[in-house]
Every structure is written in structure tokens, then in C-alpha cells.
Structure 1
């Protein structure tokens, strides 16, 4: 079979991910698909993956994707005749400290909401399930009987066989040497002198994906690490299980280990704290079914943990120490989607050692995205648009990725933040925040001030009442009765200009954009299904000039959607994020403090209006709005004047508050946030924002919302017990039935207990008729706490 000269879809990469995308595209009816593999199918990372598949995951999206994968792997042999090696063994996750036990209980609670069988067991039961382990330090464990394992190579081969049977052409030993574009859009794939003209190209090339994407000028921030596991020769303790019997997958995350039986012996792997990154430049050009050198000095600390947990290893003969490279991302979540820089180029990779478990579901999600032109399910945490080009800096990847692997088994505490590759993007007032004692977290490449108690008020991290509670309480009080500076400079700023600026924004956004100069519109950007793609405010600065203020992580996705929507509109848009600081000034004394900074009178500004102001030596403009729901302003200051403005505000009596304080106030005020209450699968009507949809303007998604009646709603929740500390995603019950999940939660200093926003699907009739509805239960780490709900903001309803 010779290479074609054209194809509808070309997939680059014949590992389990590439094969899954090809299979699902073909299964959805897509024709004329070509898959190219530089070596043989299953080479790269797939062939040496451990093949573990666990259903219980810390998020709704990951749980759904993996559950689909498991179902698929069980069905593929019937369909294709190719076994996948799927074996349901169950999995056992140990806890040796209270926080780990809390974490696994949280996962069990989330799993139950999806109907997954899971339970918390004691050490004695754990010993019965895994007889080889020592349990003297085990205080509990999670038992998930529906988990299992597969043979990764067989899964990839089954997927490829299913793809071939539906017409996919697969070419092995075919190295891609270049990518072509026409008018900025992907147009072809080069294999030496041969060109395949393509309607779309999918890169699923494992740890080489970043380099392949760069051929088209696209950014794919991932990097490889060495990943280790040992294989032993047969052990009599394993042989004693009997032919065909298997141990569950063992997860000892406090010791950085996982284990399973393997050919009558054991496979024991690790996510060691001091991981080793490796550049693809250090790998041979023909690296495919190869391994890296054994490194016993590096693995020995993990081996000591393993010997402690599984004493039978003392007498085991090690068959090999396998060292194979795997790719990871900056935030430990995989990535998929259409390149924001190159239309028609789709990217999937950085599987963070979960590629086998995710491949089925993620491959289906990617195929549906390619066909529909946008995601068909909630994929925000994996959406490649969360990464800006600035995050593809090689130095940042080299520094961060070993930490990502090393912290793979960390407890996901509130307040947790990576320590490497920090300080990449800093607010124009960063120096002033440092001087005020800010504690920062790295978010999306930015340094964000979360509170002003410093490290002493931050550690130790916990799932319980945090160290910073009192500190943040003082900041909340300042936001209400004082004048608190809230640094919002990481918010994106996009300038929109041109004769058709108003018409374009009316098509792009839900709210009416033909507003007076000096006014601000609160609005959303929707997809064709009516789901929220972005939450923003828009300022009108002139007849043909607007400024969009968008979430810190929304600039890339918004700019892409604007390019996709532009059509024939005579309009230009520019990312001007770095040009301006945004300084929130919240509290009853905000106007008093602002006036004290200037000899010129502060103008009277109506709500959602803006006007020029002087702040000491700085010129700026002030908007009468606040993300906290309290009195105050947003001050927009050119970056080069921002420190002068900040110094003047502090001298006039302003104090500081961080993201934790603004988050608490936001949730009390019922303000929705993108990525939490607002997602591409959530409509404005579900979020209670239907009033911001201007009928008749022809905005994208308007047709989908005609005669739309929401079957679920965002509500405010107030807990009855001050000991309830939700984080997010906790399942909500009403009359014993799961009715929804928490979307955001925080401690309320107004009520002295936790408050939350949640998406629920019942009882909507009672919520519409009654001010508050009692009787809800929220399951947090296997314990249920009662709460009341309302469609109104918590600070008004309770």
C-alpha cells in the first residue's frame, strides 16, 4: 500500500492514543483517515506502560473518561478478535496517615455519586485483599473491586484493528519530516519528499509531540521524565494464588509506590519525589522499543519503601529495572484540542502516566471534537487552550516537569502549589505585594497573591480548617468596611477596534454591546450549543473601541473563538494583558481612600460605568464594579505607572487582600466563575444569567437557547455544621438521591461556616417557589453534612 497524496484526516502517532483517535473517528463515520507511525504500532511509551486502570479519580471528567475506557476495553475483543488483556482485579489504595485517608474517602464519595462500587476498609481487610503486604502502619484503605488492568500493546492493536476494519489506512515505518500550512491553516504532512494534503492533522506522538507541533508553529508544552518500575522473577507467594488468579492493583501513595502481580512475580513502580527529566534531544533518533539505562542508585530509596511494604521482595530475584520515558504537563493534566495557533491542527498528549486508562475515553472525546468543531463534553481541565505560548518555554518545562512526576501522589490540598518554574509572569505591582507579606500561588504561569499572612499562615496544608483562616478573615473585613487592594492584573485584556466592533461583539457576546461610551457590559461568550465559553466584562471606550476584561486563563480560548467568529466583520483585536494592571479597591472606604490619593475630585460613577481618575502620579480609569460583591472600584492602570499608583493607595490607608478573601466574598454574593459554575456545558439559564442574554442580537448560541427551560440550576448552599469543609465536586443528595455537585466552596466569615455554589437538578420546583429549601446533604469524605439551598445569593437568602 503506497502513501496517498491526500486525506481528510492524518493522525501522527501509532501508540494507544493515536490508535484510539483513529478508531473513534472511523466509528463515528469519518472517512479517508490516514495514521502514520515512524516505527511500529505500540512503540514509544505504550509498549512499556504498566497498564493499570483505576476508575476512581479526583474529578468528574477524568472519572467519566476512564469509565468509558474500561467499558470499551472489555468490548474490543468481541468486536475485533484481538484480546486487550482486560482483567478485573480491583484496586487497593492504602492510607498511612489521616490526610491520605481523607483524600481516598473523598474519592470514594465521588465514585459513589457515579454509581461506582467502592468502600473504605480497615487494615485487616486490606491484608486479606493483598496478603503480601505489611499493614502495621495502615490506618485504612479504599477498595475498588471494578478496577483492573490491560495489556497496553494489545489495547493499541485492538484499536488499530477496529480502525482498519472501518477503512483507516495505517502506515508504519513512516517518519513525518514536516507540516505545511496555507493561509495559517494546516494543509499537509511531509514524509521526506512526499506530501499528503490534509483537511486536518492530529498529533498524538507521545513525548515527541512538542517537537512535531513546532513544525507547524504550534505550542504543546510537555516534557519527558524517566519512569521506573521493577519486574521480579516468579515468587512462591504469588504462585500460591493459583493459576489465573491475580492480586488487586496496590497503591501506596504515601510511599510513592504502585504494584501488581506480573507473570507469577511482581511489578513495582514509583513516582519518586526527585524525578529525572530527559530531553528528546538526548534520545537516539530511532528510539522506539528501547529503554533508558537502569539506575539503581536513583531507584534504591523507592526500593527500600517497597521492601518495607512487601517483605517478600527481600528474597525476590529482580528480572529488570525498567526505565522508560513518559511525557508530563505543567499542571499534571493531559491536553487535547485544536491548536489555538494553527486551525485544523489537533493535539493530544502529556498523559501524565495515565495514558492507558484515559486513551479510550480521551480518544472518543477528541474524535467528537474534531467532527463537531468543538468539545462535546466537559473538558476544561484537559483543554489545551488553558496553556498560553508563554508556558511553552523550554526552561520552564525542564524545571517543572520533574516536580510534576515527583508530586504525582501528593494529597490535593487546598493551597497546594508547585515550587518550580515560578515567577514567570508577575503583576506590575508584584514588588508591593511582596513587601506587604503576600503568599503566592503559581496559577497559569502567574504569581497570584492568595493571602497576606506569609508562609507562617500557609503551612501546614490540610483538608481541615486552614492556617490562613484568621488572616483571610481580616482581609474579608477590610473588603467590607475598609479599603482593600485586590490585585487582578492577571485578568486578560483584549482590545477590540474597528468599524464593525459593536456588531462583532453583539455576535460574539450575549449582552447588548451598543452601550454608551464610559459604560461596562457584563456578558458571556457562548458556543453553538449555548454553553458558556467565557465570562467577561466589556468596556466601551469609543465609537469603534472596546476593551474586554476576561478571566486569567481565558485569553487563549477567547482569542481563538474571536478569530473563528470574525468572518467578514471589519474588526481587529489585540491581547494587551501586559499593558495594564487591574487593582481592585474594595470596601466602604474605597472612595475615601481613592480621593485621598488625588488633588482632582474622584468623579461620581454609576454602577457599571467608568471614568478617568488620577492616583498620585498615575493616570488611570476607574470602573464602578467589584468581583467581591462589596462596594468598590476596579482601577485600570498602565503597567509602567502601576507601582506609583499602588504606593499612593497604601500611603492613603489601603490594605491588602488576596484570592482567598475575594473567593469567599464571591461565593457569598453568588457570583459565578468560569471553570466552576460556568463551563462549555453550562448554559446561562442554568447559571441564572439568562437576563444577560439580549434577544435578537444574533449572538452565537442564541438559537440553541430559544424556548430553553433549564433542567438544572446553580444554587447557593449554606452548611448547618461548621465542621463541614467542602472543596469542590462533592456529591449532593436530596431525599437519598444524588442531585448534583459542589462547584465552588469557601469559608463564610459572615455565617461562621462553609458556603458553596452547586449545580443541582432537583428539587427545582421547590427552589423556584421557596426562598430556602432545607434537607440537602453533601457527602465529604464519606460523611454527610446537611445544608440549605437557595436560588438567591447566600448573603441575601440565609
Structure 2
């Protein structure tokens, strides 16, 4: 009979490597009242059959930090627990078969240098020298990471579980959670049932959903959206191969394959382009250490290419053909953090085949978050609050998961769009834009016009690491915004209404700006955390004495609304998502005023409608509200119109615009214009760990307000001085392109990396933003340095500035 307590500080649901890591790290922080419940046996879901590849380099600095932590932890676990983890640093090689893939690897190598990961770019012959079994006939090059490793997944999990037990955690196998009790936004306890028929209840202060591919179902029990779907994952293990010795892990992503030598045998695994979702209608109740049916026809193309790539496989017998399930999320990033729907439900699942390499770091980060109540650093890439409510839809997940598994090894081209599960969220202008040649991208489920195809041009992406087929289109749209007038759809941006008798006082507490302003005033502002980091970057418009409209980036609407709701306290306010209620058209450029005057009797002059104000207007035969703000650095207005009149307003503006030569534009143009103006991009240039003063946004914080979240940290940083500055860079060579994560080189040394990058079509070169350490230095000393940007291994001289390189005094914006 299970020996379980009647109360626990936390109940962890799921005994795979993730659940074991969370338990381990909580007890390491001193938590003893920890219970982990596993429905069958530890590791019996996905962990037991994982390949155990443990790489260091991930797509962002913080994800790399977590992966490196995992490595270091696994190297020490055996000494602590006596359980052998099998961890060894064997190195890894990724081989490219095309010039495009080689460009990607070179950029990844630059990123590794920026993140402090040891990396070597190697030629085909050097690939062969390190991996003699490989056929390199069409290999174009590769990268070698000497400190990458591999390990025994099940034993890593068992070692973490033992470490947790040694510090007081209760780890109980063969006990299933059958019900989760809730009151309002909190869970109060879990009902459990043992395989022996016994049952009971554990009251708890919080739970952690580490249920792996069962995570979506456990999420439903807690009222939380956890979008993930199990997919079949295939690999083979050969018979013992004579003379086969320890080798680096090898990845050949152009053939969707990875190779791992283990005990004289070779494991070949695949991330094929068209994956097979599994158990869409639910995982069998008795699933435990189960294999799925073989599907040799599905795996055969991978094996055929592998036999050519590694000829010794032709002679080796197949010992095991394995098919096991793993869970995948809609964007190939795992789910971590405090669930937005509840105040004491935490999530750590959906690890997209990187659970072993991620588990140590993810467990550490979540445990620290649970301990402190604040994220230990920016976890926006994996924060569960990035998921949109509709993404838990079963049909959507089944369709999207056919693609996401294969995307792990697909070319990671800039601007690459998902091909599956499209068309779910459409703005009121969607069909109008499609008719005019708009090429849609998908963002947080929204279909958004990214660029406009010319007559006769195929309205589709042709991907590359160099200038893509839309480069000229975006240059033309950029020129229209800078020299004439352009119009683009911003309906996807989040709109949150804050209303009630305490609305003004609440906004003044939750935000850094001053919201004691007249009706119609627009305030650009940030929501700060207690360290002065930026939780949200928004514009706030006062609609009435008791109502404000908070406009957020599309992907962070839920996170920003949740942040506000969690800080309501005793304020009398109601917070409502009204995103779908209004369409928004941005009309921007030197002739924006002229166009609006053609379709509306309203006065758009500086006297009546100065920058930073909104007014209700007539437009065509309808009504709208115009906000005089800009994200492209030009004179312009955002036109908010109720969804029922949106089509009419689009047609009115479009037809009038023909007389001015107006251009329809897309989101790519908006990015190229904003980077010239030095406007920050939330999630890249500004995050929860970037101090608002170091981000150069001190002007948006009203330090004399008596009380707001983050005030003490702002005043402290002002007194202590900046440790980093966000600089704007422009390459002196007009040819190379910048995206993000390229290393910043100051006086010959790597000091950081670009947080974002795009092409400045007006200024004539690629541009970027990035933080540079500056402790004890003046701005002049920082700018007096020589800066270069490492672009795929080539250092390119760059100009640096603290002020916007385009219209530094904002004279055009206020014209």
C-alpha cells in the first residue's frame, strides 16, 4: 500500500526525467515536503527509450545556459547518488550537404562563440578525419563541438530521483492521479489511486505537471491549456560491429538522421519531414515501457540514405527496430512555468525530443522560479504563457505535429513559416489583402501579411540565408513608408481593456508610466518586475475616466493580461481581452495626414491630434478611432475600427490611396523600419531580465511616482550606474545580412551578441541592436570603441550609436 502523506507543499505529477529533475532541484533548495507521483514506473513513458544525446548549443543564450547546466549536473550526479548516468563527453559533429546548410552551421558557430560554447568549423576532410566511417562525397563542411555528450537517459532520471529521495522527497510509483480539486484560480489537492486498489487525497499548496505526453490531459484536469501531441519516433540499433569504437555523436540534418555509437553498436535515428501523430484520441491506460508497431516503409527512405552515408551499415544486421512516442508542441519549444489560467499550477512538459539534454536546466530554472516567485532569467522561449488558448485544440495539434518533429532537422531559414495548421486566426482584412497579393505568415496563430507580391510574382516564400525573393518587395514597401504613404494590418496586436473605478490607480501601480492623463492621451510604457526587468512593452490609451486600452504584441497578449490580473489585488478593475473586436490599419508615411483628410472630415492637425493622442472620427460612411503613434518612425496613425465596419474602412482607404500612390505593406517592412529607428522588439531586445534603464527606456518610466512595481530597482540602478547599454549597429558593408545572435566584437573581443537584426533599406545596410557591457564607463568611452559584427565567421566593421540612426530627434514622427 502506498505510504503517502495527507498534505504536501507540492505534488509533482509524472516520473520521467523532467519530474525527477524538478523534485531533485526543489529538494536542493531545501524543500522537503515534496511528493512525486508516477502512474506506472519511473521513466516508463518516454524517458526510457530516449537516445540520450546531450548537446550544449541551443537557439538562444538562456536555453544554451540551461543545456550546459544539464551537462555539468549529469557529470556530478554519479558521485552524489551512486547511480551511474553513463554521461561522457564524446563531442558532436553536424555535417552539411548543401551550401545553405553550411551557412546555417557557420551562423550557429558564431552564435556558439557569442554564448561561450567551444566550437570548431571543420572542412569535409576534417569531418572525415574525426568520423572515418562517413561517406563525404557531397559533404560541404561541418561544425564540431568537443564538449557535447551522451548518457543513459533512464539512469539519469533514476539518479535525480534518488538525489531527491535522499533529501526528503517522497517518490511513489504505481499511483495515478484521478482527480484534481480546485477552488477559483488555485488547486487545493489531488485524489490518487494505487494499482493495488487503495486510494486517498493529498492536500497541496501547488502542483507541477510533468506528465510528458499525458501533459495535455493532466492540464485539462487542472483547467490549464497544455498544447502538445505525441508522435511516433523511429530509430534502429545495429548488431555489434567489429572494431567499432567510441565516436562523436553525428548529425546529418539534410538526411534527417542522427547517429550514436553505443557499446560497439550503432544507433540511427530520424526526424522525418512528415511525422506520424500517435494516440490523438488518448493514450491507452495501460501504456508502460511500450513500443509502437514497426513501420519499416516509413523509415526506409531514411535508412536508404544512411546506408549510402555510412556504408558499414549495409553489412551490419539490425538488432532493434524501435518505434516509441515522444511529445511535440506547436512551435518545437517546451512548456515551462506558471500556467496563466491558475495561480499555483506549474508546467514542465512537451520536450520535443530534447528532454534529456534539457531536464537538468529546466528543473533548476523551474525550481528557482517556484522558490522566488519570479523567473530566474528570461524564459520567454519556453514560458507556457506564450501558448494561445486555441492551440490546445485536438485537430490543430494533430495536424501541426505532422510538421514539428521534422522541423528539428529542417533548414532553419530566416522567416521560415509553418506549412501546417494554417488559417485559424484571420483579421477582418484577410481576404482584401490576399486579393492584393499579400503573402501570409503565421504568428501566434494569426495570419499576417508579411509582404506584398507584385503582379506576376509568385506569392510565396523562396527561402535562403541570403537575400530572399521578397527582399526587393520589402525595400519598395520601406521606401513607400519613408517617402510617401503605406498601409498595413496590425489587427493581430493584443488589445486589453482595463476598466473600473480604480483603473487609473491600478495602471499607475502596474506600469512605469504616468497614466493620470486626459482622455485620449496615449502613453508608451513598460510593465516592470521587482528587478527593473521588462515584463511587457505596451501602449496605453485612456479611453474614458474609468477605462484604458492596453495594446500588446500579438504573442504576449495572454502573458501581459495574466501579469495584470495577478497584480489586481484590491483594485476595483475588470480586465478583458477585446482583441477580436476591432481591426487595425496602420497608415504611415509623410502623406499619411493627406490620405486621412481625403476620407474623413476630422481634423488631423498637430493642434487637434498631436503625436501621442487618440480621437474618434468619421471615416467613409463609418466610424473609427485613430491613435497617432508609430512603430516605423514616421508620421502616421493606427486606425481602430469595429470588426463589422472593417471591410468598408479598408476599401475606403485603399481606393483613396490610389490617387496618392499608396502601397500596401507587410510585417517585414515594419521590422526593417523599426530597426532603423532603434525601436525595441519585445522578446528579443527587451525581456524580463533586461533592466529598463539599460535598455535605454528610462524616458518611459516616471520615477517620481510614489509607488509602482519595479520603482526601487529603477532608483537603485540610477544611483549605481549602468552595467550594460543597448546599442544600435549598422554594418559598413551593405552586402551581409543580420538576423539575431551574431557576436558583437569590441576592440577585437567578443562582448555580446545582437538581440535582433534586419536590413535598413533607407540607410543602406544591415542593422542590429545588442547589449554591450559598460560598467564604470561613460557613453563616450563605449562609443569610442571599434565594433565589428561576426557574420557567419567573417568580422564586418560596424558603426555604433546610442541615439536612433534614423531621425534621432523624431522630427518626422511629430511633423
Residues 155-179 of structure 1, C-alpha deviations (whole Å, 9 max, x = no match): 0011011100110001000011111
For the pair 1:765 / 2:760, whether they are aligned, the reply is no
For 1:776, which of 781, 787, 793 is the aligned residue? 787
In structure 1, distance between residues paired with 2:64 and 2:748: 22
Aligned pair in 2 of structure 1 residues 553, 538: CA closer, same or farther (>3 Å)?
same
Residues 203-229 of structure 1, C-alpha deviations (whole Å, 9 max, x = no match): 001100000110111100010110000
**1:790/1:797 contact within 8 Å kept:** no
Residue 747 of structure 1 is matched in structure 2 by 759
In structure 2, distance between residues paired with 1:177 and 1:778: 55
For the pair 1:632 / 2:655, whether they are aligned, the reply is no
In structure 2, distance between residues paired with 1:99 and 1:508: 46
Q: Per-residue deviation at 1:768?
A: 3.9
For the pair 1:336 / 2:336, whether they are aligned, the reply is yes
Residue 477 of structure 1 is matched in structure 2 by 479
Residue 503 of structure 1 is matched in structure 2 by 505
In structure 2, distance between residues paired with 1:600 and 1:158: 70
Residue 725 of structure 1 is matched in structure 2 by 737
Q: Per-residue deviation at 1:769?
A: 6.0
In structure 2, distance between residues paired with 1:797 and 1:184: 46
In structure 2, distance between residues paired with 1:703 and 1:678: 19
- Secondary structure of 1:305's partner? helix
Aligned pair in 2 of structure 1 residues 428, 443: CA closer, same or farther (>3 Å)?
same
Mean CA deviation greater in 462-471 or 488-497: 462-471
In structure 1, distance between residues paired with 2:596 and 2:786: 45
Residue 160 of structure 2 is matched in structure 1 by 159
In structure 2, distance between residues paired with 1:620 and 1:383: 35
Residue 659 of structure 1 is matched in structure 2 by 667
Residue 688 of structure 1 is matched in structure 2 by 696
Q: Per-residue deviation at 1:613?
A: 1.3
**Within 5 A, what are the aligned runs for 1:112-511?**
112-192=113-193, 193-238=199-244, 241=245, 246-279=246-279, 281=281, 283-453=283-453, 456=458, 458-511=460-513
In structure 2, distance between residues paired with 1:83 and 1:66: 20
Mean CA deviation greater in 692-701 or 378-387: 692-701
Aligned pair in 2 of structure 1 residues 697, 452: CA closer, same or farther (>3 Å)?
farther
Q: Per-residue deviation at 1:523?
A: 0.5
**2:23/2:164 contact within 8 Å kept:** yes
> Following superposition, which runs of at least 4 residues in structure 1 exceed 6 angstroms of deviation?
none
Q: Per-residue deviation at 1:283?
A: 3.6
For 2:714, which of 680, 705, 719 is the aligned residue? 705
In structure 1, distance between residues paired with 2:30 and 2:287: 34
In structure 1, distance between residues paired with 2:285 and 2:597: 65
Mean CA deviation greater in 27-36 or 446-455: 446-455
**1:257/1:306 contact within 8 Å kept:** yes
In structure 2, distance between residues paired with 1:416 and 1:628: 23
Q: Per-residue deviation at 1:572?
A: 0.8
Q: Per-residue deviation at 1:612?
A: 1.1
In structure 1, distance between residues paired with 2:637 and 2:808: 25
Aligned pair in 2 of structure 1 residues 628, 217: CA closer, same or farther (>3 Å)?
same
- Secondary structure of 1:134's partner? coil
In structure 1, distance between residues paired with 2:622 and 2:280: 48
For the pair 1:650 / 2:654, whether they are aligned, the reply is yes
In structure 2, distance between residues paired with 1:734 and 1:764: 16
**1:719/1:785 contact within 8 Å kept:** yes
Residue 101 of structure 1 is matched in structure 2 by 102
**1:458/1:466 contact within 8 Å kept:** no
Residues 69-91 of structure 1, C-alpha deviations (whole Å, 9 max, x = no match): 00000011111111110011110
**Within 5 A, what are the aligned runs for 1:582-597?**
582-597=584-599
- Secondary structure of 1:554's partner? helix
In structure 1, distance between residues paired with 2:21 and 2:146: 26
Residue 32 of structure 1 is matched in structure 2 by 33
**1:712/1:764 contact within 8 Å kept:** no
**1:47/1:153 contact within 8 Å kept:** yes
In structure 2, distance between residues paired with 1:145 and 1:86: 14
In structure 2, distance between residues paired with 1:284 and 1:707: 56
For the pair 1:513 / 2:522, whether they are aligned, the reply is no
Aligned pair in 2 of structure 1 residues 459, 549: CA closer, same or farther (>3 Å)?
closer
For 1:787, which of 795, 798, 803 is the aligned residue? 798
In structure 2, distance between residues paired with 1:587 and 1:227: 51
**1:536/1:550 contact within 8 Å kept:** yes
Q: Per-residue deviation at 1:4?
A: 1.0
In structure 2, distance between residues paired with 1:202 and 1:9: 7
Q: Per-residue deviation at 1:115?
A: 2.8
In structure 2, distance between residues paired with 1:617 and 1:196: 62
For the pair 1:623 / 2:627, whether they are aligned, the reply is yes
In structure 2, distance between residues paired with 1:30 and 1:287: 31
Q: Per-residue deviation at 1:371?
A: 1.1
Q: Give the count of matched residue pairs.
A: 791
Q: Per-residue deviation at 1:573?
A: 1.0
**1:512/1:697 contact within 8 Å kept:** no
**1:531/1:680 contact within 8 Å kept:** yes
Aligned-residue Cα RMSD (Å) equals 1.5
Q: Per-residue deviation at 1:435?
A: 1.2
Residues 597-626 of structure 1, C-alpha deviations (whole Å, 9 max, x = no match): 135555630110111112212201111111
Residue 812 of structure 2 is matched in structure 1 by none
**2:522/2:612 contact within 8 Å kept:** yes
Residues 174-200 of structure 1, C-alpha deviations (whole Å, 9 max, x = no match): 011111112321111111451111101
**2:724/2:775 contact within 8 Å kept:** no
For the pair 1:738 / 2:750, whether they are aligned, the reply is yes
Residue 544 of structure 1 is matched in structure 2 by 546
Q: Per-residue deviation at 1:758?
A: 1.1
**1:480/1:631 contact within 8 Å kept:** no
Residues 418-470 of structure 1, C-alpha deviations (whole Å, 9 max, x = no match): 01111111111111111111111111100111110277365421111222121
Residue 196 of structure 2 is matched in structure 1 by none
Q: Per-residue deviation at 1:97?
A: 0.7
In structure 1, distance between residues paired with 2:582 and 2:737: 36
In structure 2, distance between residues paired with 1:300 and 1:677: 44
In structure 2, distance between residues paired with 1:429 and 1:116: 46
